[in-house]
Chain A
Amino acid sequence: MRSFLLFTLAAMTISVGDTVAKPPSAEFKVGEPFPSLVLPSLADGKPLSLAQFRGEKVILHIFASW
């Protein structure tokens, strides 16, 4: 758990994108399910979904490399 936490915190410091004041993320609401979406994996283009991680807690980071 601790090593996972350290990894997670490290990853969260590498957030890129807009760091100036921005509108709130109104589209994601606490208590609601994350939208079901099947998208290609960056690694190999195969279908990937958050549903594959059921049973595990997930820290989801939505970002861009710029």
Chain B
Amino acid sequence: MVGIIQEQHPDRARLFMQWKQMGWPILVDSLDLLGVMVVPITLAIDEHGIIRAVNPERESIEKSFLNQNYLAPQQQTVNTIKPPDLKKLKAGTAAGTASSWRTYADALVVWGAGNQLDEAVAAYQKAITVEPGHGPSYFRLGVAYRNRYESSARKSDDFQRAVEHWTKALDMDPNQYIWRRRIQQYGPRLDKPYPFYDWVPAARQEIQARGEKPEPLRVEPGGAEFASPLKAFASNEPARPKPDAQGRVLRDKEGFIRAETAFVPAAVAPGESMRVHLAFRPNLQRKAHWNNEVEDLVFWVDPPSGWEVSNRHLSVPNPKTAVSQETRHIEFELKCPPAARPGSVRVPSYALYYACEDVNGTCLYRRQDVVLEVQVRSPR
């Protein structure tokens, strides 16, 4: 038994395998180089590497496959089992073809070091310039952007660019469920087929109950990745009144905390919903950090008339330490009015928090206005 996994975060599959106590060899194909359109797929492959059945019947597999004798094909391919030569592939891009750029980019993402993601992004962009109609290039560029977003080389708009490129890929081939699921993983509950990673807490509990240490996850799933599908948009009334309603709290002009936003999907159709992702990052250049001995980070959304919001009032609880520098994430959903016209819509929102500058520096209560520029697209 051998497996190939198709997901953005391979370490989550490692946890899954540990949970299910499965020890087969698994190959990682986050870029979907195989070109698979949906999972799961099971193949019966004979001893010569020839596919003998696709999704074989479990009841008859012994008779129909395992007990069969297969003749070797006349021409047997010789396959190499070593990673590609990055230098050779880079030299190959001198040909200027989309294929040469794409092959080089693929190798950089799969085999390169983390600091080669900039080069991978540039190589995919070259491939797309040469061949703008190739859907897989957009999907893989999206994977590269998302990988970079989760690395130390992150750029603030990498997550949004990942979503935009996955969306472009899916527009080219709407039957590509692997690509569709990559967007839905982070997307709104009205468009979710199922909760993607809600199994993670139960898996960890059961593994620990067995006396084992759960496999670590480099990126913790959260928010959208745990959310279950909804058939109707749900708006929750705030438990508290609007904080700082008169806007008297001083703005964070010092730049202690930087807010990043991403919208999934990148543009919302009238009558449909989108998930808004916010990341609040302490400014490490100023050695800024959260002050956890006072109130939690609070976020307030003021949707324009006709727009619905899942939660107007959100908060992130402080950890138990007195200070910390972690990135704080907030997610919520917006529903676009059915009569909305295509274009940009401003959704005012703001965050209130206590942040300190430097190690023994001043701790201040600050407000940051975050104007969300939501893109409304035409219905398809």
Residue numbers of A with Cβ under 8 A of B are: 1, 4-5, 7-9, 11-18, 20, 22-23, 25, 27-43, 47-66
**A57-B65 in contact (CB<8A):** yes
- For the complex, what is the distance from the CA of A51 to the CA of B39, rounded to whole Å? 22
B20 to chain A, nearest CB (A): 6
A-B pairs, top 5 by smallest CB distance, nearest first, are: A51-B79, A17-B39, A65-B16, A42-B26, A15-B40
Known interface pairs A33-B49, A35-B34; A63-B40 also in contact (CB < 8 Å) = yes
Of the residues A29, A39, A60, A65, contact of B45 by C-beta under 8 Å: A60
**Any A CB within 8 A of the CB of B307:** no
- For the complex, what is the distance from the CA of A43 to the CA of B50, rounded to whole Å? 26
A-B residue pairs in contact (CB < 8 Å), sample of 13: A9-B61, A15-B40, A22-B38, A27-B34, A27-B35, A31-B52, A39-B33, A42-B17, A47-B82, A48-B25, A50-B79, A62-B40, A64-B40
Of the residues B3, B33, B185, contact of A61 by C-beta under 8 Å: B3
By a CB distance below 8 angstroms, the chain B residues around A56 are: 47
B213 to chain A, nearest CB (A): 16
- For the complex, what is the distance from the CA of A52 to the CA of B12, rounded to whole Å? 25
A10 to chain B, nearest CB (A): 9
**Any A CB within 8 A of the CB of B246:** no
Q: How many A-B residue pairs have CB under 8 A?
A: 214
A interface, over-half SS: loop
**A11-B6 in contact (CB<8A):** no
Known interface pairs A8-B61, A47-B82, A54-B49; A42-B27 also in contact (CB < 8 Å) = yes
**A60-B10 in contact (CB<8A):** no
Known interface pairs A33-B50, A34-B45, A43-B26; A63-B58 also in contact (CB < 8 Å) = no
**B110-A39 in contact (CB<8A):** yes
By a CB distance below 8 angstroms, the chain A residues around B61 are: 5, 8-9, 59
A24 to chain B, nearest CB (A): 8
By a CB distance below 8 angstroms, the chain B residues around A1 are: 62, 66
**A61-B2 in contact (CB<8A):** yes
By a CB distance below 8 angstroms, the chain B residues around A23 are: 37-38, 175, 177
- For the complex, what is the distance from the CA of A31 to the CA of B61, rounded to whole Å? 16
**Any A CB within 8 A of the CB of B53:** yes
**A25-B181 in contact (CB<8A):** no
Which of A18, A27, A42, A47 has the most CB atoms of chain B within a 10 A radius of its CB? A42
Known interface pairs A30-B54, A60-B45, A62-B6; A38-B39 also in contact (CB < 8 Å) = no
**B24-A62 in contact (CB<8A):** no
B102 to chain A, nearest CB (A): 15
**A63-B37 in contact (CB<8A):** no
Q: Which of B93-101, B191-199, B268-276, B323-331 contacts A (4 or more CB under 8 A)?
A: B191-199
**A28-B27 in contact (CB<8A):** no
- For the complex, what is the distance from the CA of A54 to the CA of B73, rounded to whole Å? 13
Of the residues A8, A28, A47, A63, contact of B6 by C-beta under 8 Å: A63
Further 19 A-B residue pairs, CB within 8 A, beyond A14-B20, A40-B110: A9-B58, A27-B36, A28-B54, A30-B51, A32-B50, A32-B51, A33-B51, A36-B77, A42-B17, A42-B27, A42-B28, A48-B25, A49-B80, A60-B4, A62-B36, A62-B39, A63-B6, A64-B5, A65-B12
